[in-house]
Chains A and B, each alone.
Chain A
Amino acid sequence: MKPKDFLCLAVAGLLTLAPCYGGADTNDQLQAALAKITETRDSKPERGSTQIVLTVSGPAAKRAEAFANFRVDQAADDAGENLVPSDHLTLAINTRINDVFRVKRSDGVPSFVVDGLIRTPSRQATKIIRLVGQVQVMTLSDENQSIIIPKLANYIAKSRANKDLASKKLTLEIGIDNGDKTRLFTNVGGNPAIVRKLQIIDDNGRVLEEGGFNPGFTLNTKSCFFALPRDVDDRMSLKFEVAVSQKVITVPFDFKDIPLP
């Protein structure tokens, strides 16, 4: 990668994360444990990597929505190889914002899975002697608030400022699908992780259509599709249900003597 490309990636990465991960707290509400290790060895070594999967557990896991910034400060195998990921891996994968994948623990403690990459150990190595780092988890409050965007037809294919959305660092794009005014799509950007629900309502507040978010791992944009019972008009509004507050928790980890598969 050229230095210029690297700089662009770094700036893009920081801009992407800024809305979600402004200030981070460290606390003991969440603990990390090793769950899985997967080496991907390639005949072109630069394409290989090793995935570290952790379970993150604790009371706050119930409200976890996303994770990012899987940072590895120290990693080495018993053959003397440094396994701290390259800047390329860190920027491409480890800083990315991901949905959390919840898992059921037999003791009932709320738990989810996070993952990040390190370099691939040498074939002669038998264990990772030390792995030290941290991951950031975003949790949302249980409480929601509504934001209503009135006169929906006015928003189609236009960029309009809305102070309620701006206060939540949200951006909104609305378009119609293939000229059919009964089929709308919305792209919610900025900080879409806080959005719990999107609905199109009529002037009596009746729900005309509830949009399902497309499944996807990255939360930089949430896309939603609506099939309306009639053409979109000015009597329709878009209703957001968003979490009142969000918090970032830093979960540190420090593991020794991880056996290699």
Chain B
Amino acid sequence: MNRRAVVELAILSMLICGVVRAESATMPRDTATRANDVKVSVEAVFDTRAADLFPPGQVDLKNWGTRSGLAVDLQFQGEAVKNVSEIGPAMVFEATDDLNESLVKERSPATRPASEAKPQMYPVDTGDAARPPTTFARLRSPGRRATKIVRLRGEIPVIAGGERKTVEITDLPSRFGKFLDDPTLTQAGVKVWIDAHKDRGAKFADLLFKFSGNESAIRDFKVFEGNEEVPTGSGYGTHDPKIISVEHAITKQTVLRLFAVVNEKRLTVPFDLSDIPLP
């Protein structure tokens, strides 16, 4: 390859990288609708300030106890966020204290590559309908002499609306090793494959799951033997296949109920707040 071709290739590579990067950075926000008419306010501020005092090298207590950081609890109200089912942590683009120090964390979602920026969403406690939904922004702990956050700007990812549906899977042993064929799961955009460990004895079983597509549409599961609910482990785990331990053998009478949500809306709620007093 001659010198000119190398230079052209390098320029082309930089251009491609630039384009890809620009697209990636906007991707997560493009998939959601902006809800501009939502009022966001500060509910509480927590400043955790930790320091190791032991002579370095003698005892390592870095992973013991809490780390330094500022958390701002945000609550929001508005027509667009009625029936909120899930909220993510606030993505902070700007945060400055009155000493002019930036409080944005180095690894804040806003500064991460788009592939990592997909926020972890948390289910909303719908027990108290009068209480507006809340989330939090994580920031760096400000200097001791700072007295307020001068500006806090960002976005909150929200999932609202949607219809809850129950998918009932009967005759479980005949479904093992296959994807479940169910119209609700298709509507929710998720494929679910199930199987079981065969060697857990007469009293226990492990159900194995693999998901593809919109896994977050599956909100919960329950296992029944006839009409009686069977105790299960609390969650799926994080790696495929995901495992639920069941305190009962799986028989033809065992029923798996998956609770799914269909037709939900993904929104982002922008916020721009000023002069938040520090505790």
Which residues of A come within 8 Å of B, CB atoms?
33-45, 48, 51, 53, 55, 101, 103-107, 111, 113, 115, 123-124, 126, 258-261
Contact = CB atoms under 8 A, between A and B. Distances in A.
B106 to A, nearest CB: 19
B178 interface: no
B82 interface: no
B64 A260 contact: no
Contacts of A43: 44-46, 277, 279
B53 A35 contact: yes
B46 A123 contact: no
Contacts of A33: 54
A35 B59 contact: yes
Which 6 pairs show the lowest CB-CB distances between chains A and B?
A: A261-B51, A261-B49, A41-B47, A41-B279, A38-B50, A39-B49
A103 B54 CA distance: 12
B61 interface: yes
Q: Give chain B's interface secondary structure class.
A: loop
25 contacts: A35-B53, A35-B61, A36-B54, A36-B64, A37-B50, A38-B48, A38-B51, A39-B49, A40-B46, A40-B47, A41-B48, A41-B49, A43-B45, A43-B46, A44-B44, A48-B279, A51-B65, A53-B65, A103-B61, A104-B59, A105-B58, A106-B59, A123-B144, A260-B51, A261-B68
A1 to B, nearest CB: 21
Nearest to B142: A123
Interface of B: 44-54, 57-61, 64-66, 68, 141, 144-145, 147, 277-279
A73 B270 CA distance: 49
Contact of B144 (A38, A115, A126): A126
A55 B144 contact: no
Contacts of B49: 38-39, 41, 260-261
Contacts, number: 93
Contacts of B53: 34-37, 258-259
A44 B73 CA distance: 13
Contacts of A113: 61, 64
Given A42-B279, A43-B45, A103-B61, A36 B50 contact: yes
Contact of A35 (B52, B277, B278): B52
Contacts of A39: 47-50
Contact of A261 (B50, B61, B147): B50
B279 A38 contact: no
A40 B66 contact: yes
A106 B54 CA distance: 12
Nearest to B277: A43
B119 to A, nearest CB: 24
Given A43-B45, A123-B147, A123-B278, A53 B51 contact: no
A260 to B, nearest CB: 7
Contact of A36 (B47, B65, B144): B65
> Which of A34, A38, A113, A260 gathers most chain B CB within 10 Å?
A38
B51 A259 contact: yes
> Which of B44, B60, B65, B278 gathers most chain A CB within 10 Å?
B65
Given A35-B54, A101-B64, A123-B144, A42 B59 contact: no
A115 B277 CA distance: 30
Contacts of A41: 46-49, 278-279
Contacts of B50: 36-39, 261
B61 A53 contact: yes
A3 B52 CA distance: 38
> Which of A33, A41, A44 gathers most chain B CB within 10 Å?
A41
> Which of A35, A42, A107 gathers most chain B CB within 10 Å?
A35
A37 B65 CA distance: 10
A115 B66 CA distance: 13
